[in-house]
A and B are shown apart, each in its own frame.
Chain A
Amino acid sequence: MNIAEKIKFYREGMGYKKAELARQLEISPAMITYYEQGKRQPSLKIVTLIAEIIKVPLEYFFIEKEYTCQIASRSMGKISKEEKKEVADFQLIVDNFLNVAGSNKVDLAYTGPKEYLEHEISDQAIGSIKISLGLPEILDYESLSEALWRHWKIPIFHIPFKSQQLSGITIKRDNTYIIFINKGHTLERNFFSLAHELGHVLMHLKDDDCIISRLSSRHPLEKQASNFARRFIVPTVFLHEKLQNDLPAINRENIQALAKSFNVSYACMVYNLEKMKLITYTNPISKSDELINMHYEEIWKYQDFPVIYLMCVFHAWYKGEISISKAALYFFSDLQSTSEYFRLIKNAIANNNEEKLQYGSDT
């Protein structure tokens, strides 16, 4: 493809209309048509601006390889503009991550099982999955997140999403899976979302693609992933045992206590009890009064990125492979803050201070 064809390909792929792109570029829509038909040669400035607006890395306009820009093809319903932009940002992060991981020789290839693709996962299989992840039967968000990276090389980005209705996004690229979890939701919700995204990784994401997960989606794949998630984080046998021995009555206090013992949200526990036919959604106690969407700041902090991503970007910059402004772009931050953060990492490395490295200043 030449530049003209690529402009059209990426514009359409990212869901931009000519008029909208033209408005942002402050040129006429006819000019976009000329560019796309090859009748006018766009300047570098224009190509750079187009790349920034439609969120496709500039180099993809000039190299043979095509940028994977499918937007959540399997998600349910129409994707809003806001969600598209969110996914495009995450696609950029994945692209950047693969770039810097490659230059640092960090292998991000998924090492988990593939036999569950396009299959239901039984309770027994869930047990095997937990064993291969080195996890106990009852776990929490932190332990699952750590195990997914350590054992299967799935990095988790725990960042506040712009779109509050999205709970998680999983992107697959070249045998690498990267999960994004909405930090704006409660940690209990995040726990379920992470298990839900794991369900997508194991059962649904076969080709390079992206799945977005919304709250209360009714899409069959979403239902399947949620069904996996609820059994993964609340093992049915353990729940049965607890109900029989400790908390036989189903009332609001007991549901809260159960939710707490499994580190899950009230809604998740109701979901499990409903599946066990111990409660119906018409029952008033099934209604949760917990906050689903907290009012949160959408500002991304350095510690929201996995340490492996921080270190890969840092090393690429340190070796002079990427510019400081590009490194700042990788963190969706400004040049000065990134410089200051890198200096902190340098000091942490010099002092061999792991704690500083992971939870350093986010100025």
Chain B
Amino acid sequence: MVLILDCTVLINCIDKCLSVDLIDSLIAYPFELHIVETVNKEYLYGLNHYPKKANASRYHKHVPSHIKVIDESNFPFDNVAKLSNLHAGEFMSAIYKLKMPGEYIICTDDKAVHLTMQRQFSFKCLWTSDLLVLLYQHVPSFINNTEVVSLFEEMKNNGFIGFDSNKINLNSTYNFNNFF
């Protein structure tokens, strides 16, 4: 299974969660983590321009060894008009998902991506908070419910860039079948 991460997720997972590196946690699972080239550039731009806000050492630790950067130079533009409310990284990530249906999931905290993918293409996307739930559900010994909640709180306290976070029930069961 491939998780397509966007810039918001990288910021949330890498920068905002200080005590635990979520990418480190994720790579323990049978997930492949992909980002499109535009997202990579966005993040590198952020590193150069806002060094205090982004975590260079964590990022460079994972790219490209654990996070694969996808060459997007030949992406098709069939559904572009439907995605015109998205921009740059989110836009290219959505195109990538459309190009690679099946076991490819976009993980984003961008509400516009969630709505667009759901309404226009009936694809569900994954919120960062759901990632935490997944971490909890798949290998309970690795991370327990208390840790999930404290991680989530820590992310929020450190400027979690997400939506509807209060509505996420961390005790709920996440059904992966929704994605296929």
Contact = CB atoms under 8 A, between A and B. Distances in A.
A326 B85 contact: yes
A58 B45 CA distance: 21
Given A323-B110, A324-B110, A334-B46, A45 B74 contact: yes
Contacts of B89: 325
Contacts of B73: 43, 45-46
Contacts of B49: 334
B112 A339 contact: no
A336 interface: yes
Interface string A36-69: 0000000111111000000001110111000000
Contact residue range for chain B?
35 or more
Interface stretch (A12-20, A82-90, A314-322): A314-322
Contacts of B161: 324, 335-336, 339
Contacts of B76: 44
B159 A339 contact: yes
B81 A63 contact: yes
Interface string B20-62: 0000000000000000000000100110011001100000000
Contacts, number: 101
Interface in B49-91: 49-50, 53-54, 72-77, 80-81, 84-91
B5 interface: no
B156 to A, nearest CB: 11
Interface in B1-25: 7-8, 11
Contact of A325 (B54, B75, B87): B87
Contacts of B139: none
Contact of A44 (B11, B46, B80, B163): B80
B134 interface: no
A298 interface: no
Contacts of A63: 81, 84
Nearest to A337: B50
A292 B93 CA distance: 47
B50 A325 contact: no
B84 A335 contact: no
A271 to B, nearest CB: 43
Nearest to B85: A322
Contacts of A48: 91-92
A323 B113 contact: yes
Contact of A323 (B72, B81, B85, B95): B85
A339 B163 CA distance: 11
A340 interface: yes
Nearest to B112: A323
Interface string A122-143: 0000000000000000000000
Nearest to B161: A339
A171 to B, nearest CB: 21
Given A43-B75, A323-B87, 18 more contacts: A43-B77, A44-B72, A44-B76, A45-B73, A46-B73, A59-B84, A62-B81, A62-B84, A63-B81, A320-B115, A324-B110, A325-B86, A325-B110, A334-B50, A335-B11, A336-B53, A339-B159, A340-B159
21 contacts: A43-B73, A45-B72, A45-B74, A48-B92, A57-B84, A61-B80, A320-B111, A322-B86, A323-B86, A323-B91, A323-B110, A323-B111, A324-B8, A334-B45, A334-B50, A335-B8, A335-B42, A336-B159, A339-B159, A339-B161, A343-B159
Interface of B: 7-8, 11, 42, 45-46, 49-50, 53-54, 72-77, 80-81, 84-92, 95, 109-115, 159, 161, 163
